[in-house]
Amino acid sequence: MAVKSLTLIVVALAAAGQAGGQDASWQSLAGVRQAAERALHRELDRTVPGVELKSAALDARLRLPACGAALETQAQLPRGSQARVPVRVACTQGATWSVNVPVEIRRELDVLVLRRAVGRGEVLVAGDVVAQKRVVAGLASPYLSRVEEFHGRLTRRPLPQGTAVTADALSAALLIHRGQDVTLMASAGGIQVRAPGRALADAAASQRLRVQTLESLKVVEGVAESDGVVRVSR
């Protein structure tokens, strides 16, 4: 018989209230798994659509005395990208035992898939992608689902046709574009000074870039602070 591959902890296994020498009836393992799935489902945010739960198969050699009351459960919400959560299922009446049941979390959601191959440094538009259904592990998703998320971002690397676009495949959204008219801001002694300038490079939030002042044509360096605003240290 195959060795079980999932960690299964039986905290206690003892028959209680049984006549001496009498065989105990066994708890349905399928029922234990269903109890674990229901417990985790209650903990999850019901506003998250497309969630699927599947408990791991329990070792067929496991023998749990039938419980004299409803099974007790304890489930915790997954953390971050965690896709498998242990749920404690226990009996405290008629028998005393508890077992941890791993439950896998999957979610069906819309992702954006490339219609064509793209190179590094390209801007994606709505016509470059098509929405498709994908099943991902866990509640968090690395995939983009709205074309609005392409705005101001460039591909970090070449992507083949059929690739589902992930957030890390694109650069951070740009606040400043090369050639854009910007406002230079500097503070000194509690006084804030503004001056017009023109960006000499693209920049995302907190990135440094060079800007040419429109009044003196002097080139200065600053940090992209917000849309169209560059802060310069004096």
* Exposure on the CB side of residue 80, measured as CA atoms within 13 A: 1
**Do 32 and 89 lie in a common domain?**
yes
- Position with higher pLDDT, 46 vs 193: 193
- CB of 152 within 8 A of CB of 200? no
Q: Which of 105, 127, 147 is the last residue of a domain?
A: 105
**Domains in the chain: how many in total?**
3
Average pLDDT of the residues of the chain? 86
Q: Is the pLDDT of residue 3 over 80?
A: no
Rounded CA-CA distance 225/181 in Å is 14
Judge if pTM exceeds 0.75. Answer: no
Condensed to tens digits (0 to 9), the pLDDT of residues 108-130 reads: 989 999 999 999 989 899 999 99
pLDDT number for residue 47: 64
Query: What pLDDT score does 21 carry?
Result: 35
**Residue range of the domain that includes 194:** 174-231
Residue-wise pLDDT for 84-109, tens only, equals 999 999 999 989 999 999 999 999 98
Express each pLDDT in 48-80 by its tens digit: 777 899 999 999 999 999 999 999 999 988 888
Q: Is residue 5 part of a domain?
A: no
Residue 191 confidence class, pLDDT cut points 50, 70, 90: confident
Grade residue 171 by pLDDT with cuts at 50, 70 and 90: confident
Any domain includes 146:
yes
Residues 32 and 69 in one domain: yes
Domain boundary among the residues 105, 122, 148 is at 105
- Residue 70 inside a domain? The answer is yes
CA distance 55 to 224: 48
d(CA 108, CA 106): 7
Q: Are residues 26 and 95 in the same domain?
A: yes
Q: pLDDT band at residue 24, thresholds of 50, 70 and 90?
A: low
CA distance 7 to 156: 40
